[in-house]
Amino acid sequence: MIKAGIVGSTGYAGAELVRLLLGHPDVEIAWLGSKSYIDKRYSDVFRNMFTLVDDVCLEDNIEKMAEQVDVIFTATPQGYCSSIINENVLRKVKVIDLSADYRIKDVETYQHWYGLVHQSPQFIEESVYGLCEINREEIRTSRLVANPGCFPTCSILSLYPLVKEGVVDTKSIIINACSGTSGAGRGAKVDNLFCEVNENIKAYGVASHRHTPEIEEQLSCAAGKEIILNFTPHLAPMNRGILVTAYANLKETISENETREIYKKYYDKESFVRLLPEGVNPETRWVEGSNFADVNFKIDGRTNRIIAMGAIDNLVKGAAGQAVQNMNIVFGLREETGLMMPPVFP
């Protein structure tokens, strides 16, 4: 059994890790770390876990944790993981960081968009961006996996084949996205109160959201040249789900079928990326609670644009599920282990 520790187990992403690891046949949760709920019974914080998790929350002490576990998940605010990690820890355990600290290779870019001084830039180079479908091989041998952001996961998976194959004009990419409210975390803020979110939709972080450089870096890497794009997230009145609607100009006329072959080339053997049938748009309800990313596209002959679309559950494929998928890869397990639960509908 793989022993797992979670730093920040009492946020929404941390709690989803607990849910998924409870159903994983090869993992045992050995340390439930928390900042706010130390010594409190975990099932008093998340009552869905009553009778399933008997443990109390322990401190978020990565050093001690590293003595007792095989893998550490850090589900903490930006800047925290990079401030506590060190060579000693990395020698003992595998680390899968759900924060943004190691996602961006260019430390200046990270520091600019996040407004933070990176506390351990020496580990950036060796860390691997854990978008499993794309970096599977590098992940296999990594000791520090940077688990992708929720919006980047959905955006990149939606656009990757088009960018990689050079189908679209990389200067023209615009990504419009909607997220459920669990993406905003469990902190007590007026803006996230029920009455403020319910019956409302809004854009936020327009032209300034921190997931922008992460998407740009990964797509640039796929394209082999620098990509600058627009990314606009919106907050939707629902618990879970991310929907991406992305636009790009086609470099040349391409048929529906040719495009479909391009998507198939990348996703046909993937268990978690589902290329939907022609004419069927991704919807968040069809992936809720699961690790699936549903993608599809539509070509608009009138404007010569392609609309690439994707849907994920932000807490699963957009966070905890992909973290478990990364763990499976790192530990040489079947990638689907513990992750094949069907989406919950309605």
Q: Which of residues 269-288 bind its own copies (CB under 8 A)?
A: 274, 276, 280-288
**Helix 107-114, helix 211-223: angle, nearest 10:** 150
Q: How many whole angstroms separate alpha carbon 173 and alpha carbon 219?
A: 10
Q: Is 107 in the site for its own copies (CB under 8 A)?
A: no
Residue by residue, DSSP assigns 123-146 as GTTT-EE--HHHHHHHHHT-SEEE
Residue 97 has φ and ψ, to the nearest 5°, of -95, 115
Q: How many whole angstroms separate alpha carbon 163 and alpha carbon 167?
A: 6
The correct pick among 23, 106, 261, 268 for binding its own copies (CB under 8 A) is 23
**Catalytic residue, candidates 57, 81, 132, 150:** 150
Give, as ranges, the residues between 205 and 244 that touch its own copies (CB under 8 A): 206-207, 228-230, 232, 234, 236-241, 243
Q: How many whole angstroms separate alpha carbon 330 and alpha carbon 145?
A: 9
The correct pick among 294, 295, 322, 323 for binding its own copies (CB under 8 A) is 294
Give, as ranges, the residues between 122 and 181 that touch its own copies (CB under 8 A): 174, 176, 178, 180-181
- 39 or 188: CB nearest its own copies: 188
- 71 or 309: CB nearest its own copies: 309
Beta carbons within 8 Å of 331's beta carbon, 6+ residues apart: 2, 26, 70, 71, 94
Q: How far is the CB of 165 from its own copies (least distance, A)?
A: 21
Instruction: Kindly indicate which of the ranges 1-9, 14-22, 69-77, 118-126 contains the residues binding its own copies, using the contact rule CB under 8 A.
Output: 14-22
Q: How far is the CB of 60 from its own copies (least distance, A)?
A: 19
Total residues binding its own copies (CB under 8 A): 82
Residue 56 has φ and ψ, to the nearest 5°, of -100, 160
Residue written as token pair 């605010």 = 77
150 an active-site residue? yes
Q: Is 182 in the site for its own copies (CB under 8 A)?
A: yes
Q: How far is the CB of 274 from its own copies (least distance, A)?
A: 5
Q: How many whole angstroms separate alpha carbon 333 and alpha carbon 67?
A: 22
Q: Is 77 in the site for its own copies (CB under 8 A)?
A: no
Give, as ranges, the residues between 307 and 336 that touch its own copies (CB under 8 A): 307, 309, 311
Q: Which helix (H) or strand (E) holds 186?
A: none
The correct pick among 105, 245, 256, 331 for binding its own copies (CB under 8 A) is 245
Q: Cis peptide before 161, with omega less than 30 degrees from 0? A: no
The letter for the amino acid at 339 is L
Q: What CA–CA distances, in Å, run from 207 to 53, 199, 201? A: 42, 24, 17
Q: Is 12 in the site for its own copies (CB under 8 A)?
A: yes
Q: Is 75 in the site for its own copies (CB under 8 A)?
A: no
Give, as ranges, the residues between 46 and 65 that touch its own copies (CB under 8 A): 46-52
Q: How far is the CB of 78 from its own copies (least distance, A)?
A: 20
- 107 or 201: CB nearest its own copies: 201
| 322 within 8 A of 335, measured Cβ to Cβ | no
Q: Is 24 in the site for its own copies (CB under 8 A)?
A: no
